[in-house]
């Protein structure tokens, strides 16, 4: 199983989903791969924001090795499931020609959180978003295990 998280610039939301899902995969000794990227290359090669790295560290996660990158056409073929962090990302990926069976809204399994995962630039609520990602990644892990058993 190859999982991809996508947000705008790959310095906050998608990188958060990436490290949380990676820990779930590692903790369960699965032979799955996870990556993250952005629809833009505005921050290409940069690490996640310092503010989200501080929150991640508080919860026992290390984001220091992640570097932002832009989604490619190759990603659409390579990954089995692609999580869009909000509607604009979903539409962007869909326009790139992805197989619709692969594309999912990240918050699909946690409708109580709404449709779009908030961007910190608008909310400044990194810890709340981090907790939502932990909960949602765990729900997706359980769903993916069910689908693949």
Asked whether 139 and 111 are in contact (CB, 8 A), the reply is no
pLDDT score recorded for residue 38:
96
Share of the chain above pLDDT 90, in %: 74
Tokens of 30: 């699965």
Give me the CATH number covering residue 21: 3.40.50.2300
What is the extent of the structural domain holding 99?
A: 2-147
Burial class (CB in 10 A: 0-12, 13-18, 19+), 13: buried
Candidates 7, 37, 133, 137; catalytic one: 7
Question: Who has greater pLDDT, 129 or 89?
Answer: 89
Q: What is the mean pLDDT of residues 34-60?
A: 91
Asked if 85 contacts 48 with a C-beta cutoff of 8 angstroms, the reply is no
Burial of 138 (0-12, 13-18, 19+ CB in 10 A): middle
Contacts of 142 (CB under 8 A, 6+ apart): none
**Residues 41, 80, 119, 128: which is the catalytic one?**
119
Q: What is the pLDDT of residues 114-129, one digit of tens each?
A: 888 877 655 567 888 8
Active site residue 99: no
pLDDT of 108 reads 93
How many domains is the chain built from? 1
Cα gap 17→126, rounded to integer Å:
13
Is residue 7 flagged as an active site residue? Answer: yes
- Residue given tokens 């630039």 in the structure block: 121
Contact present, 103 and 23 (Cβ < 8 Å): no
pLDDT tens sequence across 58-87: 999 999 999 999 999 999 999 999 999 999
Rounded distance, CA 1 to CA 102, Å? Answer: 11
Active site residue 13: yes
Contact 77, 34 (CB under 8 A): no
């Amino acid at each position: 199983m190859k999982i991809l998280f996508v947000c705008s610039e790959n310095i906050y939301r998608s990188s958060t989903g990436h490290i949380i899902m990676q820990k779930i995969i590692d903790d369960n000794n699965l032979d799955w791969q996870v990556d993250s990227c952005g629809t833009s290359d505005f921050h290409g090669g940069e690490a996640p924001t310092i503010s989200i790295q501080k929150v991640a560290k508080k919860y026992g996660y290390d984001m220091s090795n992640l570097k932002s990158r832009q989604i490619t056409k190759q990603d659409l073929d390579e990954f089995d499931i692609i999580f869009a962090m909000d509607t604009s990302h979903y539409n962007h990926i869909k326009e790139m020609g992805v197989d619709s069976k692969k594309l999912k809204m990240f918050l699909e399994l946690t409708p109580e959180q709404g449709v779009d995962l908030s961007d910190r630039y608008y909310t400044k609520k990194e810890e709340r978003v981090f907790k939502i990602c932990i909960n949602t990644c765990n729900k997706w892990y359980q769903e993916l295990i069910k689908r693949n058993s």
